[in-house]
């Protein structure tokens, strides 16, 4: 389905509470399913990806009841499988488009004497799973797959602890290994080359699991076997979703947008630092904490005279999902913005690196790219075009933001991909363009 967006003729004004954090929602549902007892979750993101996790844990024996839905997200009551462990489902588990669902489940199932097949849609079948299977096999699990991709059959149980040095900074790899370590004998640790998202390390203690983190925060470890205990979790708003509205406000003259209740985890706020270096006026104010996560508001006031910057490889783990948005903002700067060490974008829902370069080129931007780098010249000029999201939610939102400052309409194919993380994105964006203030 194609959706047409037109340039805006007025500032973006207003307050929007973006949906619940996708990463935390996945983990809250999964940890609750693993736990002994009943957990109550609020603010859970109602999206296609999180629904995949809910369906998966239900198939594995957890009981999930929906206890309401509202602007902040879903309310769920989850009765976990606890010490009994997950059951073997009658059919393969369909993870849809959700890499987080599949990869974290590989870690969970590795520790139990079950044999389960995990599968997904065409996009997920193209994404690499060997990076997860390899450390888990070192711990004693077995995986059967074709060329390291889905479908994959997991045969678990009988794990021993291990010290794994990951070649990539990946929260999914780290979490999968730690979750397997909960069922392994002895200590399991993961050391990364750079700090990735640490939502698992923050949330597991709420479920009664001690996680040790090194002083430099690059090594996380657990001692097993250990069980999870049910708890209640309130999921804050997603900073990655907030980033697209923040970036839009930074581009459109006269804009003022307030984004309350956002998770302010430092491992997720790299986009804020980059936008500030570009000259954007962003105020981040902490207002409390939820489940070990700092929570607060992000306020953006438009400021003219944005400038290009360099995003280093060390920064990328903290803003990997926001590169499409930042590349769009870069067009509105003076100078050139360079993204280094972004090769990981080639194995997302699409080859995002190639797609960003192609899409911006179709819009009239000046772009150059290599195997793991991207440069965008700040020409300040975009024209209308028809772009394909490739079924990638981050690209769909980025092209919608680009349409705000284009000289003509932008038509986005497969815009419905936004349902993966931000189903009401178009409506929230439209509300800001129609508002007269907060």
Return the active site residues.
321
Phi and psi at 199, nearest 5°, equal -60, -40
Residues 6+ apart with CB under 8 A from 413: 1, 2, 386, 387, 388, 389
Measured between alpha carbons, how far is 9 from 405 in angstroms, rounded to an integer? 9
What sign does the dihedral 86-19-429-319 (CA atoms) show?
A: negative
What sign does the dihedral 349-350-352-353 (CA atoms) show?
A: positive
Q: How crowded is residue 254: how many other Cβ atoms within 10 Å of its Cβ?
A: 11
Phi-psi region of 176 (alpha: psi -120 to 50; beta: other; left: phi over 0): alpha
Tokens of 274: 């980059």
Measured between alpha carbons, how far is 31 from 48 in angstroms, rounded to an integer? 19
Measured between alpha carbons, how far is 352 from 355 in angstroms, rounded to an integer? 5
Residues 6+ apart with CB under 8 A from 303: 250, 279, 280, 281
- In DSSP terms, 220 is beta-bridged to 190, 213
CA torsion 137→138→141→145, rounded to 10°?
0
Q: What is the largest CA-CA distance in the chain?
A: 62
Tokens of 47: 């999206």
Measured between alpha carbons, how far is 247 from 280 in angstroms, rounded to an integer? 9
With contact defined as beta carbons under 8 Å apart, do 22 and 215 qualify? Answer: no
Rounded alpha-carbon distances, angstroms, from residue 436 to 10, 11, 246, 259, 296: 9, 9, 18, 16, 24
Q: Which residue from 162, 173, 164 is spatially nearest to 130, judged by alpha carbons? A: 173
Phi-psi region of 340 (alpha: psi -120 to 50; beta: other; left: phi over 0): beta
With contact defined as beta carbons under 8 Å apart, do 437 and 25 qualify? Answer: no
Q: Which residue from 317, 253, 263, 252 is spatially nearest to 27, judged by alpha carbons? A: 263
């Amino acid at each position: 389905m194609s959706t047409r967006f037109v340039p805006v003729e007025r500032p973006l004004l207003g307050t929007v509470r973006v949906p619940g954090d996708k990463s935390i929602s996945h983990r809250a549902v999964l940890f609750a399913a693993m736990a002994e007892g009943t957990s109550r979750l609020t603010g859970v993101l109602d999206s296609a990806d999180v629904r995949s996790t809910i369906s998966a844990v239900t198939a594995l024996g957890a009981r999930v009841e929906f206890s309401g839905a509202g602007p902040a997200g879903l309310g769920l009551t989850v009765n976990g499988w606890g010490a009994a462990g997950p059951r073997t489902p009658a059919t393969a588990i369909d993870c849809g488009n959700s890499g987080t669902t599949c990869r974290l489940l590989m870690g969970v199932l590795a520790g139990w004497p079950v044999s389960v097949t995990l599968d997904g849609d065409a996009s997920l079948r193209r994404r690499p799973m060997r990076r997860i299977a390899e450390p888990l096999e070192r711990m004693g699990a077995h995986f059967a797959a074709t060329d390291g991709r889905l479908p994959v059959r997991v045969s678990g149980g009988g794990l021993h602890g291990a010290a794994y040095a990951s070649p990539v900074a990946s929260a999914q790899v780290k979490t999968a290994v730690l979750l397997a370590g909960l069922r392994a004998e002895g200590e399991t640790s993961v050391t990364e080359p750079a700090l990735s998202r640490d939502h698992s390390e923050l949330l597991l203690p709420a479920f009664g699991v001690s996680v040790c983190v090194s002083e430099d925060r690059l090594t996380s470890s657990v001692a097993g076997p250990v069980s999870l205990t049910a708890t209640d979790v309130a999921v804050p708003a997603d900073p990655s979703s907030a980033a697209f509205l923040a970036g839009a406000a930074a581009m459109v003259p006269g804009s003022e947008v307030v984004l309350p209740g956002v998770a302010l985890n430092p491992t997720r706020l790299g986009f804020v630092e980059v936008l500030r270096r570009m000259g954007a006026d962003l105020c981040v104010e902490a207002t409390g904490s939820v489940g070990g996560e700092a929570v607060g508001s992000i306020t953006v006031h438009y400021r003219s005279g944005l400038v290009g910057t360099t995003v280093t490889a060390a920064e990328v783990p903290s803003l990997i999902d926001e590169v499409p948005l930042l590349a769009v903002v870069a067009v509105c700067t003076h100078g050139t913005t360079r993204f280094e060490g972004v090769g990981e974008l080639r194995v997302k829902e699409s080859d995002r690196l190639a797609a960003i370069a192609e899409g911006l080129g179709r819009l009239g931007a000046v772009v150059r790219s290599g195997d793991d780098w991207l440069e965008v010249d700040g020409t300040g000029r975009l024209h209308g075009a028809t772009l394909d999201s490739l079924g990638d939610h981050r690209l769909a939102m980025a092209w919608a933001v680009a349409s705000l400052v284009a000289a003509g309409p932008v038509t986005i194919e497969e815009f419905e991909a936004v349902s993966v993380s931000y189903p009401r994105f178009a409506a929230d964006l439209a509300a800001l363009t129609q508002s007269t203030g907060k």
